[in-house]
């Protein structure tokens, strides 16, 4: 059953563009370069909240074992590279993991 790994990070409006660019240019490609069996995708969501900007990532894996292969035995621990820590104000220390029970698409 697919697993969704959900994580949040916050930054200042001044650092938001730099953080988003860092994700696209370095963080996401480095995750994909790990070639983790069962890793399927990553989604990026952004919400401006005035004095801070919230980012959410939703990673999709085939199973919890695939998440463990990505993050290790302490798989709930956040994956926040040093470059991201430099521009984030705060972030979730752990990621939440949900089983995908149903997905419908309408076109």
Q: Residues 49-93: pLDDT tens digits?
A: 999 999 999 999 999 999 999 999 999 999 899 999 999 999 999
Delineate the domains of the chain, giving CATH numbers in brackets.
Answer: 3-99 (3.30.70.100)
Instruction: Yes or no: say if 16 and 29 are a contact pair by the CB < 8 Å rule.
Output: no
Q: What pLDDT does 79 receive?
A: 87
DSSP 16: H
Residues 5-47: pLDDT tens digits?
999 999 999 999 999 999 999 999 999 999 999 999 999 999 9
- Give the global pTM: 0.91
Q: Where are the beta strands (DSSP E) in the chain?
A: 3-11, 39-48, 53-61, 90-91, 96-99
């Amino acid at each position: 059953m697919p697993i969704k790994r959900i994580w949040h990070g916050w930054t200042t409006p001044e650092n938001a563009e730099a953080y988003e660019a860092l994700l696209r240019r370095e963080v996401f490609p480095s995750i994909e370069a790990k070639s983790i069996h069962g890793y399927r995708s990553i989604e990026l969501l952004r919400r401006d909240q005035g004095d801070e900007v919230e980012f959410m990532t939703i990673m999709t894996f085939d199973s919890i074992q695939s998440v463990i292969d990505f993050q290790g035995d302490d798989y709930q621990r956040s994956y926040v590279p040093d470059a991201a820590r430099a521009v984030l104000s705060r972030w979730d220390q752990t990621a939440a993991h949900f089983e995908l029970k149903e997905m419908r698409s309408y076109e």
